[in-house]
Chains A and B, each alone.
Chain A
Amino acid sequence: MSGEPVIKVRNLVKRYGELVAVNAVSFEVAKGEIFGLLGPNGAGKTTTISILSCITPPTSGSAMVSGIDVVTDSLTARSKIGVVPQEIALYPTLSARDNLMFWGRMYGLPDRTLTRRVDELLSIVQLSDRASSRIDTFSGGMKRRINIAAGLLHRPDVLFLDEPTVGIDPQTRRNILDLIKELNAEGLTILYTTHYLEEAEFLCDRVGIMDEGKMIAVGTRDELTESIGATGVIAVRADGLNDALIDWLAALPAVSKVARSEDGLTLNVVRGADLLPTVVEKLAGSGVDIHSLDVTVPNLESVFLHLTGRRLDEEHDEKS
């Protein structure tokens, strides 16, 4: 990270009565970064974004966007922020163009520049040909794209996207993720919330993992997986294994544990990637007949599991 961070959150707390929706959360997002907030339902992701977008006042703590305090100078802060809400927030009976024109006027853009900007954004989200159609005639994915365009009209410093891919087909989802990458490539800083860990891994430079209102880990993917001392698993199905070979494998410094299975063995490893060629060479050289070899790479799921003892995808299945 270099320069002043675009988003700076310090000890943010939000209580709803007894419930602590956001509990002493701190993080920073650098200019040009895609930062992911990953967490299960009710983790406090939307609440954090709501505070940052000046909809919900925090109970305590501070949040700055582009150096502006979102609590004390919310009107200025709001002009720096683009938000793509979790729900489609558009007027269904109006056309895509009319919706975008309206939202642009809310940011004080003069009609002349606005018309050009709307055209530009319609072509970026590839909906120029449907500009005059009513939103309620759009498919879910098309609505999502207009929903994103509406957050970009005023060329914000930072774009907040709150689970923009919930409930849409894989093709559209892919389109939207690509769109976000493109926007980021042009220099836009992005704060992205999701409970899909593949999205966080695919998209984000850094990830903050939230659970029950707390930020339980922040870092790049590699930093996070390393921080838990983790680990991959290499599962080998093979004939002709013997005890000497197993002892040899167990003695390797990168291997933490070796276990025989019915038709082969599994190795728990710290840093699996560079270990694999060594293992394959040794086994093949000893006349072992390898049927299959399965490498499980450590990922954010393993991190979440390690930190909470729960799996991330088990939880959001309940919702959908």
Chain B
Amino acid sequence: MHVRRIYSIAALNVRVLLSDRTALLWLLAMPIVFTFVSGVAFSGGGGGGDAPVRYALTVANMDEGSRGGELLDAILRSDEIDLLMLEGPAADEEAQLLVEDGDRSAALVIPRDYSERLAARESVTLTFHRNPERMNPLVTRRAVERVVTKLNADELAGRAVVSAHEAIRGAPSAEEELELTRAIRAFVSAEFAGPSTTVAVERLGRPAQSEAPDMGFQHSSPAMALMFVLLNGLMLSSMLVTEKREKTLARLLIAPVRRSEIVAANLAWRFIVGTLQLWFLIGFGALVFRVDWGDSMLALALVGAAYVAAVAGLSVLIGSLSGNPRRAETLSLVLSLAMCALGGLWWPLEITPEAYQTVGHLIPTGWAMDAMNNLLSRGYALSGVIPQVLVLLGFALGFSIAAVAAFRYE
């Protein structure tokens, strides 16, 4: 192996790559655009700043008493959702139809006998219609549930205090009962405002950051970085095929250059370009999207290096096997998009079936995304990504050996 020749070949390829301006666009600008778009989508916030988004909930209040109205007031007071009230005697059916047709994603129906049954100390069911085909804002259901939980607590506390009175002093009079329940409700409300036991979350070991990372970018930034390193890396396979086409590879083989040197140079420059691209995206994510890349730079560097090496190996392998640059590009595109989908770059592997997760761990992307999640979301450090780094290095070695074997000219 002749280092100067390897260096010359690698440097030449980088120059050829850089002489193509659109290549730079693909390497640097496109990933940022995609990170931004998917980051915004994942954070669930469309507008700028921290203004909370208010969702609307359709409501049909059929209750003949006053408790239904109190429930809705409580929901409104929770200040998270707006209510779209349906009026009239058939409001409940209207709500059902609207949701069925998909005009509304969800609707809450309070039954006619709501107050009556509560007064009779019977249980009562509120109906929450939702259309599974529409994106259903979880936050509306949660707001309703939270308010109902509190009302249930009120109710339970009222009943408890009344039955306690019964046990000790005999049945209370009507006035006494009203007095007791009012007092206990005031107490419960106060307790809800400031419960006696709370959990305070504190991060230890690192200075607290002035701003919490945006959870959307916290996922999209590493995912898109991995995706574009893979996509661009594999697309670069076509440069080797073009060298076959334009006969410069033949000329290299005519010169006293070993095949192993040519393969080594091709691996090396792809590794360098991929690494520069990855760190550009990591830096951009940290500075602009405020992504928290975890506690261990070393761990991140190792994961990145092992992943880029695997991509470089696969790229040279594809280049060695292909005879047509266009076909190499098509293959690379299909392969990298499939690996993004299967490796959990577009949606978390945790939400997929077991078989899907198994497939995801047959390819480098699954392991790389795992490692990124361990570093960025689960708070792991170096020891938490060693298995992933080793597997990725295994992929790199396997692909490179296959590339050397497949590399031929004719």
**What CA separation (Å) do A85 and B2 show in the bound complex?**
25
Are B254 and A81 in contact, CB atoms less than 8 angstroms apart? yes
Are B253 and A54 in contact, CB atoms less than 8 angstroms apart? yes
**What CA separation (Å) do A264 and B214 show in the bound complex?**
102
Q: Among residues 37 to 65 in chain A, which have CB atoms less than 8 Å away from a CB atom of chain B? A: 53-56
Residues of B within 8 A of A83 (CB): 251, 254
**What CA separation (Å) do A294 and B13 show in the bound complex?**
59
Residues of A within 8 A of B253 (CB): 54-55
Is B142's beta carbon under 8 Å from chain A? no
Is A4's beta carbon under 8 Å from chain B? no
Are A107 and B16 in contact, CB atoms less than 8 angstroms apart? no
Q: Among residues 1 to 26 in chain B, which have CB atoms less than 8 Å away from a CB atom of chain A? A: 2, 4-5, 8-9, 12, 15-16, 19-20
Residue of A nearest to B247 (CB): A89
Q: Among residues 240 to 279 in chain B, which have CB atoms less than 8 Å away from a CB atom of chain A? A: 246-248, 250-258
Are B2 and A108 in contact, CB atoms less than 8 angstroms apart? yes
Residue of B nearest to A78 (CB): B256
Residues of B within 8 A of A98 (CB): 15
Is B409's beta carbon under 8 Å from chain A? yes
Is A92's beta carbon under 8 Å from chain B? yes
**What CA separation (Å) do A290 and B75 show in the bound complex?**
123
**What CA separation (Å) do A53 and B246 show in the bound complex?**
17
Residue from the list A55, A93, A105 in contact with B409, Cβ < 8 A? A55
Is A150's beta carbon under 8 Å from chain B? yes
Are A89 and B16 in contact, CB atoms less than 8 angstroms apart? no
Is B410's beta carbon under 8 Å from chain A? yes
Residues of A within 8 A of B20 (CB): 93
Asked whether A92 and B2 contact (CB < 8 A) given A78-B255, A81-B254, A106-B252, the answer is no
**What CA separation (Å) do A54 and B410 show in the bound complex?**
12
Q: Among residues 85 to 124 in chain A, which have CB atoms less than 8 Å away from a CB atom of chain B? A: 85, 87-94, 98, 102-103, 105-108
**What CA separation (Å) do A107 and B251 show in the bound complex?**
11
Residue of A nearest to B251 (CB): A89
Residue of A nearest to B248 (CB): A89
Count of chain B residues near A, Cβ 8 A: 24
Residues of B within 8 A of A108 (CB): 2, 4-5, 256
Residues of A within 8 A of B246 (CB): 87-89, 92
Residues of B within 8 A of A105 (CB): 4-5, 8
**What CA separation (Å) do A222 and B189 show in the bound complex?**
118
Chain A 144-163 per-residue mask, 1 if CB under 8 angstroms from chain B, else 0: 00000010000000000000
Residue of B nearest to A83 (CB): B254
> How far, in Å, is B278 (CB) from chain A's closest CB?
25
Q: How large is the interface on A (under 10, 10 to 19, 20 to 34, 35 or more residues)?
A: 20 to 34
Residue from the list B4, B15, B254, B410 in contact with A53, Cβ < 8 A? B254
> How far, in Å, is A283 (CB) from chain B's closest CB?
58
Residue of B nearest to A153 (CB): B255
Asked whether A75 and B8 contact (CB < 8 A) given A87-B247, A89-B248, A94-B16, the answer is no
Residue from the list A76, A90, A93, A103 in contact with B255, Cβ < 8 A? A103
Are A79 and B251 in contact, CB atoms less than 8 angstroms apart? no
Residues of A within 8 A of B12 (CB): 91, 94, 102
Residues of A within 8 A of B248 (CB): 89-91
Residues of A within 8 A of B256 (CB): 75-76, 78-79, 106-108
Are B255 and A107 in contact, CB atoms less than 8 angstroms apart? yes
Residue of B nearest to A50 (CB): B250
Are A85 and B251 in contact, CB atoms less than 8 angstroms apart? yes
Residue from the list A56, A76, A93 in contact with B19, Cβ < 8 A? A93
Residues of A within 8 A of B410 (CB): 55-56
Residues of B within 8 A of A79 (CB): 256
Chain A 65-85 per-residue mask, 1 if CB under 8 angstroms from chain B, else 0: 000000000011011010101
Are B250 and A106 in contact, CB atoms less than 8 angstroms apart? no
Are B247 and A106 in contact, CB atoms less than 8 angstroms apart? no
**What CA separation (Å) do A186 and B8 show in the bound complex?**
31
Are A150 and B251 in contact, CB atoms less than 8 angstroms apart? yes
Residue of A nearest to B258 (CB): A75
Are B15 and A106 in contact, CB atoms less than 8 angstroms apart? no
**What CA separation (Å) do A76 and B256 show in the bound complex?**
7
> How far, in Å, is A193 (CB) from chain B's closest CB?
15
**What CA separation (Å) do A28 and B220 show in the bound complex?**
67
Residue from the list A54, A75, A85, A107 in contact with B247, Cβ < 8 A? A85
Listed A/B pairs (14) with beta-carbon separation below 8 Å: A53-B254, A55-B250, A76-B256, A78-B255, A78-B256, A79-B256, A85-B250, A88-B247, A103-B251, A106-B5, A106-B9, A106-B252, A107-B256, A108-B4
**Chain B residues close to A by CB (< 8 Å):** 2, 4-5, 8-9, 12, 15-16, 19-20, 246-248, 250-258, 409-410
- 6 nearest interchain CB pairs? A93-B19, A89-B247, A106-B255, A89-B251, A78-B256, A105-B8
16 further A-B contacts with Cβ under 8 Å, apart from A106-B256, A108-B256, are: A53-B254, A78-B254, A83-B254, A85-B254, A89-B248, A89-B251, A91-B248, A92-B246, A93-B16, A93-B19, A93-B20, A94-B19, A102-B12, A106-B9, A106-B255, A107-B256
